[in-house]
Structure 1
Amino acid sequence: MVLSVATIFEGSRIIPSLQAAEVAWFALICLAIVLGAKYFVGTKKFGRFPPGPRGLPLVGNIFDLKRLVRDTKFHYRAWSRLAELYGPVVGIRLGFSDPMIIVSGKEAVTEMLNREEFDGRPDGFLFRHRTFGARRGIIFTDGTTWKEQRRFSLKNLRDFGFGRKTMEDIILNEAVTLARIIEEKSNDGPIRNVDRIATVAVLNSLWYLTANTRYDQEKEDAGLAEIVQIISDIFKDSDVSGGVLNYFPFLRYIVPGLSGYKSRNDRQMRVWHFFRNLVDQHKTSVNFHHGHRDLIDAYLSEIELQKFNSSSSFNELQLIALLKDLFTAGIETTNNSIGFVLLYLIANPYVQQKIHEEIDRVLGRNALPSIQTRSRMPYLNATVMEVSRLANVGPTTIPHRATADAKFMGFDIKKNYILLANLHSIHMDRGHWGDPKTFRPERFLDENGHLVKDPWMITFGAGRRKCPGENLAKNSQFLFLCCLLQKLRFELPPGEAAPCLDGINGFTISPPNFNAVAVAR
């Protein structure tokens, strides 16, 4: 049956006799026309758009990306494959989201990360959904809100010991405790889930300053375990491009289960309630006249001070989002990095042996390490750097957004385009590294065995959006690994095959689940 607009509508009212199926088809046709027009008009406004796969109307390059990820197994390899085909600056379109520009190679990435007009963060559906429907926190905000929240957080964390001797003592205490627990457990057989074994210890290092809370490494906290698992699952089930819900956010209304919205929403709600309860507990015990115990107290005090400032970015929802960001950053990348180092050492026992010899020479078996002793252990540092280069826990930066129209490497970058720095392309550049796929810590040592800092190692990004927790992460990695390897040797359990070193695809790259025998030295 052919229906004209006149037979379907009377004014703004749908004729009652029209069948529901016909209304649905008409709506879909109208949607297709509108979206087709949007796509056509949009493509005419791109100016000198970077080269890339042609794509299809409406869906853009979604199927191209899906095929590349299927072939290469990882999103970051898909970005590098696109760079091989089209050059250091590649433009793709993914559904209804703003165009994404993949930036690869040392020159292009360095320029992009240091351009202030590229310091924004994406504003798609999923980036708001993770913080309860608005742009909150410090990871996916920009402009004044980001500057205020970042400045406040870093200042107050420093007041409580972040980046100081207090922080070192907290990390060292957790590292020593972890080594003792593993040594005791080793008598009962192989250590399970070594890839996540440092999670609570790593979290405690930052969380004590944030929430005045230290979780017992020996007694599992059910609430904490659930949230840690949820956050891990979210990272593994997502990628930096945003995924289908970011390309087509309306799918959450049509197919909430199939699109992944229902499970994602359930997870986010549980995470959100965890931090909501934490804030509520602080509100019942905080005493502004007796000083602040932690960052949460300081933030609640700031909310009170600015309660009559209508333009203030300080409120309880912003605090919950900030806690979520700090909690996530506090466990995911550092914990993954430690897991990967242990995995590589199990796969390369001769490297582990060299580290043991260095620790014995510098510290012996009983003296505790410190940040000062880090400079005296070049081989351990070189190994951590080499694992970081190969494992690529953060193979790209968090997506950036152009805050203004700009020219970049000869191409037109319009406001709100998303830019993704492909760090993997730098860390695996054959022209610079020679044998990038080979695990060789010695590449970071000179002929005298001294550590060489290579400017091509930009694991933590660069520019104004560089990770503010870089020093904490490096100090944590060193102290944890030094304490563990001073007391223990890690080996594969008898009969178990070596796990794949590639890791697990996701927003970050996590080590595979693996077990190990921890032998007391």
Structure 2
Amino acid sequence: MWIFIIFIVVCVVKILIDWWRPKTFPPGPRGLPIISNILDLKRLVKKTGSHGVAWCQLAKEYGPVVGLRLGLADPLIIVSGRQAVIEMLGRSEFDGRPNGFIFSHRTMGEKRGILFTDGKVWMDQRRFSLRCLKEFGWCGQTMENLILEDAESLKKIIEDTCKEGVVKNFSELTSLAVLNSLWSLLGGYRYDIAKCEPKILDTLRTLNNSIKDSNVSGGLINHLPFLRYIIPGLSGYNAITERYKQMWSFFADEVRSHKESRKLGVYRDLIDAYFKEIETHQHDTESYFNEMQLIAVLKDLFSAGVDTTNNSIGFTIGYLTIEPRVQAKVHEELDRVIGRENLPSIILRASMPYLNATLAEVLRLSNIGPTTIPHRATMDTKLNGYDIKKNYTILANLMSVHQDKEHWGDPENFRPERFIDDNGLFINDSWLIPFGAGRRKCLGEVLARNIHFLFVACLLQKFKFALPPGQNPPSMTGMDGFTLSPPVFNILITPR
């Protein structure tokens, strides 16, 4: 009896302590005991339309550093405004990744890979991946040729699709082509995108569903992980687990196939090179190179690379479809600099300031990644005068920087000219940080920018994009998820 009473008292005290906000804790809505700010956040997201806009609304109400408590998870700190964002991203004590349930569940019960690891695991996996991908030419002429090959294949598919009428989901057409450019480095071979192979299509759909049904805060299962035992279906745990298993199985099969077919001294791709790394460190008891880590690295590079790059292309075509004035100026520049028969080239990028400005404006306004991937404080510290305890989760609100009215003037408008100076040259504005900043800046930035530029240049060379007669322009605020994806709407595509 006494044990039960003591247990109840301890629980009540713990709930009250968690609910109480010290003066040095960042300001924010108080919330309710146990669930804390879960309902506050849910209402705000419903009202604003997305988590990204919700974070900006909280910043307007409470300031550049906002503190939330979401269920049983560690407190979530939202950092907004360029000064606070750049400071946070530049401090090594904020370079960790969250310890929440969902961040280990996604990689079979342990934090693995690159995206959601920190410390030695992250440094070793990141260093290897960067070195390996550079050796396989992701920044060179070979990679450019592969990207252009995929862009050419995509153009042929679009030409065939156009004959059947309007295109109803443009991003579905581009996703396989974007995947090919990345998978040639990771898995060493290329898919025939015209055949739409079921295995890879299923994997892409699983990835898309997983991203759309999640958010950077981790979701309900991360906030109240015990729900997976009580209501696994209603809490979303079953659906999440099934998607994670499907994705894991796809990459595990690729690793198994490579292991059976690899030849000594021959390195076809990142998978082969990783096996070599495992062998090199096989007697190192502190090594984090193993097959489970390899599967997680592939999953991370695939997920981050395909989704965000494909969304960048989708948003670009979307904005150009509803902004014919901008599209006409891009067409004119492409015709003048490259022509309609020559292939675009990275070397010629500097000669096309308006196309560069258009791509920059798309990344600014679309905010595909409204925040960085969650960070974690690795020690007790302070930010803007507030206490940030070890293991607090921290989000850098990039949307708040890209929507700052004092800097951009009219941030809500699509206006590429903001990135063009009086001499007609492209302005590389330091306030544009779609790939983050600091040591945890996206490692695939160079490849993503190259794919974005080459694909859009190839498509605009050959096609004109317009709304079908009678169709109203869609909202371009994007569809909420872990990232923002472009809206699905009909596009009339005609050859130029």
TM-score (norm 2): 0.97
Deviation at 1:148, TM superposition (A): 0.3
Q: Which residue of 2 aligns with 1:107?
A: 83
Query: Which sections of structure 1, spanning at least 5 residues, go unmatched?
Result: 7-25
Q: Is 2:129 aligned against 1:129? A: no
Q: Is 2:172 aligned against 1:196? A: yes
Given that 2:96 and 2:375 are in contact with CA atoms closer than 8 Å, whether structure 1 keeps it comes out as: yes
Deviation at 1:38, TM superposition (A): 2.3
Deviation at 1:188, TM superposition (A): 2.3
Q: Residue 198 of structure 1 aligns to a residue in which SS? A: helix
- 1:142 corresponds, among 95, 115, 118, to 118
Q: Is 2:466 aligned against 1:491? A: yes
Q: Counterparts of 1:244-323 in structure 2 under 5 Å?
A: 244-289=220-265, 291-323=266-298
Q: Counterparts of 1:364-443 in structure 2 under 5 Å?
A: 364-443=339-418
Q: Residue 344 of structure 2 aligns to a residue in which SS? A: coil
- 1:326 corresponds, among 301, 317, 321, to 301
Deviation at 1:496, TM superposition (A): 3.1
Query: What code does the residue aligned with 2:481 have?
Result: G
Q: Residue 465 of structure 1 aligns to a residue in which SS? A: coil
Task: Write the distance in 1 (CA, Å) between the matches of 2:304 and 2:419.
Answer: 27
Task: Write the distance in 2 (CA, Å) between the matches of 1:348 and 1:41.
Answer: 53
Deviation at 1:503, TM superposition (A): 1.1
For structure 1, which segment, 180-189 or 271-280, has the greater mean C-alpha deviation from structure 2 after superposition? 180-189
Q: Is 2:481 aligned against 1:506? A: yes
Task: Write the distance in 1 (CA, Å) between the matches of 2:281 and 2:80.
Answer: 43
Task: Write the distance in 2 (CA, Å) between the matches of 1:160 and 1:466.
Answer: 21
Deviation at 1:134, TM superposition (A): 0.2
Q: Is 2:186 aligned against 1:210? A: yes
Deviation at 1:95, TM superposition (A): 0.6
Task: Write the distance in 1 (CA, Å) between the matches of 2:102 and 2:9.
Answer: 26
Deviation at 1:89, TM superposition (A): 0.5
Q: Which residue of 2 aligns with 1:350?
A: 325
Given that 1:487 and 1:520 are in contact with CA atoms closer than 8 Å, whether structure 2 keeps it comes out as: yes
Query: What code does the residue aligned with 2:100 have?
Result: G
Q: Is 2:15 aligned against 1:39? A: yes
Q: Write the deviation string for residues 378-414 of structure 1: whole angstroms up to 9, x where unpaired.
A: 1111111111111110110001000011111111111
Q: Which residue of 1 aligns with 2:439?
A: 464
Task: Write the distance in 2 (CA, Å) between the matches of 1:31 and 1:64.
Answer: 29
Query: What code does the residue aligned with 2:138 have?
Result: F
Structure 1 vs Structure 2: percent identity of aligned residues? 55
Q: Which residue of 2 aligns with 1:10?
A: none
Q: Residue 262 of structure 1 aligns to a residue in which SS? A: helix
Task: Write the distance in 1 (CA, Å) between the matches of 2:6 and 2:323.
Answer: 60
Q: Is 2:221 aligned against 1:240? A: no
For structure 1, which segment, 299-308 or 247-256, has the greater mean C-alpha deviation from structure 2 after superposition? 299-308
Deviation at 1:190, TM superposition (A): 1.5
Q: Write the deviation string for residues 235-292 of structure 1: whole angstroms up to 9, x where unpaired.
A: 1111111111011101000000010001111111111111111111011101123x21
Given that 2:37 and 2:69 are in contact with CA atoms closer than 8 Å, whether structure 1 keeps it comes out as: yes
- 2:135 corresponds, among 138, 153, 159, to 159
Query: Which sections of structure 2, spanning at least 5 residues, go unmatched?
Result: none
Task: Write the distance in 2 (CA, Å) between the matches of 1:453 and 1:36.
Answer: 54
Q: Write the deviation string for residues 169-204 of structure 1: whole angstroms up to 9, x where unpaired.
A: 111111122122212321222223112321111111
Given that 1:68 and 1:78 are in contact with CA atoms closer than 8 Å, whether structure 2 keeps it comes out as: yes
Which structure would you say has the larger Rg? 1
Given that 2:267 and 2:273 are in contact with CA atoms closer than 8 Å, whether structure 1 keeps it comes out as: yes
Deviation at 1:34, TM superposition (A): 4.4
Q: Which residue of 2 aligns with 1:226?
A: 202
Given that 2:78 and 2:396 are in contact with CA atoms closer than 8 Å, whether structure 1 keeps it comes out as: yes
Judging changes above 3 Å, is the alpha-carbon distance between structure 1 residues 46 and 282 closer, same or farther for their aligned structure 2 residues?
farther
Q: Write the deviation string for residues 271-329 of structure 1: whole angstroms up to 9, x where unpaired.
A: 1111111111011101123x211110111122223222221101111111011001111
For structure 1, which segment, 94-103 or 497-506, has the greater mean C-alpha deviation from structure 2 after superposition? 497-506
Q: Is 2:6 aligned against 1:49? A: no
Q: Residue 502 of structure 1 aligns to a residue in which SS? A: coil
Runs (4+) of structure 1 exceeding 6 A deviation are 29-32
Task: Write the distance in 2 (CA, Å) between the matches of 1:38 and 1:215.
Answer: 54
Task: Write the distance in 2 (CA, Å) between the matches of 1:462 and 1:312.
Answer: 28
Deviation at 1:39, TM superposition (A): 3.1
Query: What code does the residue aligned with 2:237 have?
Result: Y
Judging changes above 3 Å, is the alpha-carbon distance between structure 1 residues 69 and 44 closer, same or farther for their aligned structure 2 residues?
closer
Query: What code does the residue aligned with 1:241 have?
Result: S
Q: Residue 287 of structure 2 aligns to a residue in which SS? A: coil
Q: Residue 101 of structure 1 aligns to a residue in which SS? A: strand
Deviation at 1:5, TM superposition (A): 5.2
Task: Write the distance in 2 (CA, Å) between the matches of 1:479 and 1:463.
Answer: 27
Deviation at 1:44, TM superposition (A): 6.7
Task: Write the distance in 2 (CA, Å) between the matches of 1:116 and 1:355.
Answer: 41
How many aligned positions are there? 496
Task: Write the distance in 1 (CA, Å) between the matches of 2:79 and 2:11.
Answer: 28
Q: Which residue of 2 aligns with 1:454?
A: 429
Task: Write the distance in 2 (CA, Å) between the matches of 1:265 and 1:34.
Answer: 33
Deviation at 1:475, TM superposition (A): 0.9
Query: What code does the residue aligned with 1:96 have?
Result: L
Q: Residue 433 of structure 2 aligns to a residue in which SS? A: coil
Q: Which residue of 1 aligns with 2:34?
A: 58
Query: What code does the residue aligned with 1:417 have?
Result: Y
Judging changes above 3 Å, is the alpha-carbon distance between structure 1 residues 36 and 5 closer, same or farther for their aligned structure 2 residues?
closer
- 1:173 corresponds, among 131, 135, 149, to 149
TM-score (norm 1): 0.92
Given that 2:398 and 2:433 are in contact with CA atoms closer than 8 Å, whether structure 1 keeps it comes out as: yes
